[in-house]
Copies of this chain bind each other. A is one copy, B any other.
């Protein structure tokens, strides 16, 4: 028996929540079954210390939450029900203690439990310098109920499921003042948006269950970049109506340039952005209202020779948006 095996034992769940799980942690691989009317949905995302987070901006519990949340958000953007997750963690040989590692897993477990997700596998390795946390998630969605980026059509309405820019605003304050110095009373909502983003699983399920033809994306890289992905996959032009994009009070106090940076390019909002036909819009809005979920029409889709995203503001001023997401290479 060694340290690694003991620690893995300590993070292994002693109960399981999904009846479709046949073999969980403890063998070479996990095994699960899938109902005949469902398909499996799978995604993977990695967070690197110094790139996606630092100990100055995130508690380890928040890191665990967020590493799982960004993955569950990908499932939400496919309209899927989250089921399982696997965690691969590369731990620096120095500078990290057991309590911090436990906190990461506690943060994941807390969010996972919210969706009855089971931790079903993973890998623990060492590294020399930065913590690298890779989460794989598995969910399920009704057969052939695909909410793809390529589904936008001219005449569709663009919508978003919540206010944008809060995570970027919160991060700016965290980078300026550090986690402990940031003014929690005033900034609570903004810090939470950055540290504890809430994946919009319920909204994704409403969209999948609606049966409507819907294009969908989650906002990890900023709405300008996500709208461009829809424009490219669907071969359309996306117009964002600046005045209709929901945001938050402190953001409104910034200059126009600041506001656009937070709202359009900031990213990590993890709201869903999508399109629906004008004919289906009223029914869809009603479904969201009935579920107590926010829903904001913020733009329109038009035919175009080439994919593009433009911003319309001040009653008719139209600006092409070209800036895109963070480039790792």
Contact partners of A3 in chain B: CB under 8 A: 327, 329
- A76 and chain B: residue at smallest CB distance: B28
Cβ-defined contact, A41 with B29, below 8 A: yes
CB-contact partner of A2 in B122, B138, B324, under 8 A:
B324
- A80 and chain B: residue at smallest CB distance: B29
| Contact bitstring A44-72, B, C-beta under 8 A = 1, else 0 | 11111011100000000000000000000
C-alpha spacing A130/B1, complex, angstroms = 29
C-alpha spacing A139/B1, complex, angstroms = 30
* A190-243, CB < 8 A from B: 216-218, 233
- A218 and chain B: residue at smallest CB distance: B28
Chain B proximity of A93: nearest CB distance (Å): 9
CB-contact partner of A51 in B27, B46, B127, B139, under 8 A:
B127
C-alpha spacing A7/B328, complex, angstroms = 11
- A220 and chain B: residue at smallest CB distance: B28
Choose, from A143-151, A175-183, A279-287, the stretch at the interface: A143-151
The count of residues in chain A whose C-beta lies closer than 8 Å to any C-beta of chain B is 75
How many copies are assembled? Answer: 2
C-alpha spacing A144/B26, complex, angstroms = 17
- A40 and chain B: residue at smallest CB distance: B32
* A1-51, CB < 8 A from B: 1-5, 7, 22-23, 26-34, 36, 39-48, 50-51
CB-contact partner of A31 in B28, B51, B78, B218, under 8 A:
B78
Q: Is A86 an interface residue (CB 8 A)?
A: yes
Contact status of A124 and B51, CB under 8 A, knowing A44-B136, A75-B29, A88-B45: no
Cβ-defined contact, B86 with A138, below 8 A: no
| Contact bitstring A290-329, B, C-beta under 8 A = 1, else 0 | 0000000000000000000000000000000000110111
Q: Is A245 an interface residue (CB 8 A)?
A: no
Contact partners of A31 in chain B: CB under 8 A: 39-42, 78, 141, 146
Cβ-defined contact, B143 with A90, below 8 A: no
Cβ-defined contact, A28 with B132, below 8 A: no
Cβ-defined contact, B88 with A123, below 8 A: no
Contact status of A329 and B124, CB under 8 A, knowing A29-B43, A32-B42, A44-B86: yes
Cβ-defined contact, B217 with A77, below 8 A: no
Cβ-defined contact, A148 with B27, below 8 A: yes
Contact status of A28 and B328, CB under 8 A, knowing A42-B120, A52-B125, A123-B45: no
- Pick from A123, A143, A146 the residue with the most CB of B within 10 Å: A123
CB-contact partner of A44 in B5, B39, B134, B148, under 8 A:
B134
For the complex of A and B, 6 pairs with smallest distance between CB atoms? A29-B43, A28-B77, A3-B329, A126-B328, A2-B327, A134-B134
Given contacts A5-B324, A29-B42, 13 further A-B contacts (CB under 8 A): A4-B328, A28-B77, A30-B41, A31-B39, A33-B34, A45-B88, A46-B90, A47-B125, A86-B136, A90-B132, A126-B328, A126-B329, A128-B129
Q: Can you list 9 A-B contacts (CB < 8 A)?
A: A26-B233, A28-B78, A28-B217, A29-B78, A33-B40, A42-B121, A46-B123, A125-B328, A126-B328
